[in-house]
Amino acid sequence: MAENRGVAYAGPGRVEVVDIDYPEFVLKDGPGVHPANVGRQVHHGVILKVVASNICGSDQHMVRGRTTAPEGLVLGHEITGEVVEKGRDVEFLDIGDLVSVPFNIACGRCANCKARRTGICLNVNPDRPGSAYGYVDMGGWVGGQARYVLVPYADFNALRFPDKQQAMEKMLDLTMLSDIFPTGFHGCVTAGVGVGSTVYIAGAGPVGLAAAASAQLLGAAVVIVADMIGERLQQARAFGCETVDVSAEDPRAGIERILGESEVDAGVDAVGFEARGHGEAAAEEAPAAVLNTMMDVTAAGGSVGIPGLYVTGDPGAADEAAREGSLSVRIGLGWAKSHAFFTGQCPVMLYHRQLMKAILHDRVQIADAVNATPIGLEEAARGYREFDRGAARKYVLDPHGLLGTA
């Protein structure tokens, strides 16, 4: 049996690469596994040799100690890999297939899955609707920042690439299909971005940059990206976005400087609950700041897509209300402007096949947009540290050294 190693949460601010069990077609007890899921048979699953698994901002929330994630939890929900074993009930995948895995774990059988709302599957997480690999309170499915990983309900979940050699050549783009590209795209679609739109995207991390590239793909006339880290703003400008440094400029004033008017057609919050204030308050955490800015700068009748993560429990929050996920949101302003708000996990499966084709036919260069940077699995701790410091990079873990052709 092959050796398996994975990236595990080791307490606030720390991850470690440790020896872990090689996957089997059963969910075993371990850090974060819900007791009701222990012993669950997964004959509908496949075991993947992981080709690429990315470090995500959502992982960083856990690593910073901003969730109730237990130590020892194996991280990683952005997974691309090669099928090396298949369960007895898998019909449509074969050994050797190269697949992208949505971060949503979905059964394909429940009412929500049948409605393509795979982010809130009813059957894979005993705690609540919705599940993901390697994530707190998501059922305990082992994460994919590892050499090998189990993917349940594989016929439904896995997206097979049609040409394995072509896929390897474009792997730094295709690995973004598991999460951030569909997530950014979903933020734009739900915000109503289309041909000729003006768009304000809060956050120039990987999801914000993926949203910016998605807005361009959807035909936006002007894409404005806001952040307070100069390197990330420079990355947004590198592929044609306008930018606002909210540590030095009011968002509304920045929009007016760029557009000649102070509101946009569509807003996308790619920051989430660890938001900070603007201007002089930029050093202070203000978890509702971005949501309130979105209502301020989005025109009446517009929509706000919220792919940024908001949580029900934040032990590191500055006040008691925020620890329970209760924020001081100016809902009256949003109501008065007839805004529509769209939240929750992106249903990756709704978009990933079309976005795969856009990549394969060179309609988008998402790896360039997010500055995809491959590193070895054993370098994961360095990747987490640099990402946490604001590096304008999307770190792609390469557990088997297969990305040399990418």
Q: Are residues 128 and 189 in the same domain?
A: no
Question: CA torsion 341→347→349→355, rounded to 10°?
Answer: 50
pTM: 0.96
Q: Are residues 24 and 159 in the same domain?
A: yes
Q: Are residues 377 and 324 in the same domain?
A: no
E strand intervals along 249-386? 264-269, 298-305, 340-342, 372-376
Q: Are residues 251 and 381 in the same domain?
A: no
From residue 100, give the alpha-carbon distance in Å to each of 123, 134, 178, 358. 21, 16, 6, 15
pLDDT of residue 312: 85
Q: Are residues 148 and 276 in the same domain?
A: no
Q: Are residues 239 and 143 in the same domain?
A: no
Enumerate the H helices of 120-205 as residue ranges. 154-157, 164-169, 171-174, 180-190
Residue 406 has pLDDT above 50, yes or no: no
- Provide the phi-psi class of 286: left if phi over 0, else alpha when psi is between -120 and 50, else beta: beta
pLDDT of residue 316: 82
Chain segment 264-288, per-residue pLDDT in tens: 999 999 999 888 888 777 778 888 9
Q: Is the torsion defined by CA of 383, 160, 85, 137 positive or negative?
A: positive
How many residues appear in the chain? 406
Token pair recorded at residue 194: 């289309």
Dist CA 25 CA 390 (whole Å): 38
Contact of 157 with 97, CB cutoff 8 Å: no
Residue 254 has pLDDT above 80, yes or no: yes
- Tell me the β-bridge partners of 204: none
Q: Are residues 16 and 110 in the same domain?
A: yes
E strand intervals along 228-313? 242-245, 264-269, 298-305
Instruction: Read off the pLDDT of each residue in 68-90 and give the average, rounded to a whole number.
Output: 97
- The 3-state DSSP class for residue 298 equals strand
Closest by alpha carbon to 160, among 82, 78, 51?
A: 82
How far, rounded to the nearest angstrom, does the alpha carbon of residue 50 sit from its chain's CA centroid? 18
Q: Are residues 335 and 352 in the same domain?
A: no
CATH classification at residue 249: 3.40.50.720
Segments forming the whole domain that contains residue 190: 180-342
Report the number of distinct structural domains present in the chain: 2
Q: Are residues 131 and 109 in the same domain?
A: yes
Dist CA 252 CA 257 (whole Å): 9
Q: Residue 405: pLDDT band by 50, 70, 90 thresholds? A: very low
Chain segment 109-132, per-residue pLDDT in tens: 999 999 999 999 999 999 999 999
Closest by alpha carbon to 142, among 259, 235, 4?
A: 4
Phi, psi of 194 (to 5 degrees): -155, -170
Token pair recorded at residue 187: 């933020």
CATH classification at residue 376: 3.90.180.10
Tokens 């914000």 -> residue:
208
Q: Are residues 324 and 244 in the same domain?
A: yes
Q: Residue 317: pLDDT band by 50, 70, 90 thresholds? A: confident
Q: Are residues 304 and 241 in the same domain?
A: yes
Chain segment 127-171, per-residue pLDDT in tens: 999 999 999 999 999 999 999 999 999 999 999 999 999 999 999
Domain end position, chosen among 327, 342, 357 = 342
Token pair recorded at residue 324: 């329970």
Dist CA 123 CA 345 (whole Å): 16
Domain end position, chosen among 288, 319, 342 = 342
Lowest mean pLDDT among 103-107, 235-239, 244-248, 281-285: 281-285
pLDDT of residue 1: 66
Q: Are residues 243 and 113 in the same domain?
A: no
Chain segment 340-389, per-residue pLDDT in tens: 999 999 999 999 999 999 999 999 999 999 999 999 999 999 999 999 99
In the chain, pLDDT over 90 holds for what percent of residues?
A: 90
Tokens 């734009």 -> residue:
188
**Amino acid code (one letter) for 195:** V
Dist CA 250 CA 292 (whole Å): 13
Domain end position, chosen among 342, 363, 392 = 342
